[in-house]
Amino acid sequence: MMSEKKAKRIKTARRIYCTVTLLFVVTMMSAGLTYLAGASFNVEGVTHLGYPAYLLKILGIAKFLGGIAILQGRFQTLKEWAYAGYTFNLLGASASHALYGDSLVKVLVPIIILAFVLASYRQWKTGWV
């Protein structure tokens, strides 16, 4: 039988996972929807970096579907790929801003979101959720 202390740690780990995961998934899915809507600030942002505006449609679909993949619990490999996709996306965003010469804030925002992605991934992989 599981000790009370261990049960409490597992419950805390689950809460951490749910909170951290929801924070970044809602952020990414919201970004995906604004990408799909073609919000002017998003179009200006990607064209400023030298990317074509149609890239927003591709990333918008990927971000939205990635959120669904992470929130679902049945297809573990799909969930792994969604975490990997978000990681590549955020590293690429940070690198793009850094290489373009944008401000440190624009470089760090994707890294901060990535920290949430990695924290969520770690909590999920511990097997307590």
Which of 95, 63, 106, 97 shows the shortest CA–CA distance to 82? 63
CB contact at 8 A, 82 and 70 = yes
Which residue ranges make up each domain of the chain?
A: 4-125
pLDDT at 23: 95
Tell me the Cα Rg of the chain. 17
> So what's the pLDDT on residue 7?
87
Q: How far apart are CA 28 and CA 60, in angstroms?
A: 9
Predicted pLDDT of residue 2? 67
Q: By the 8 A CB rule, do 24 and 124 touch?
A: no
Instruction: Return the closest-CA partner of residue 129 out of 4, 1, 19, 52.
Output: 19
pLDDT tens, per residue, the chain with 129 residues:
568 888 888 898 899 999 999 999 999 999 999 999 999 999 999 999 999 999 999 999 999 999 999 999 899 999 999 999 999 999 999 999 999 999 999 999 999 999 999 999 999 998 766
DSSP string, 33-96: HHHHHT-HHHHHHHHHTT--TTHHHHHHHHHHHHHHHHH-SS-HHHHHHHHHHHHHHHHHHHHH
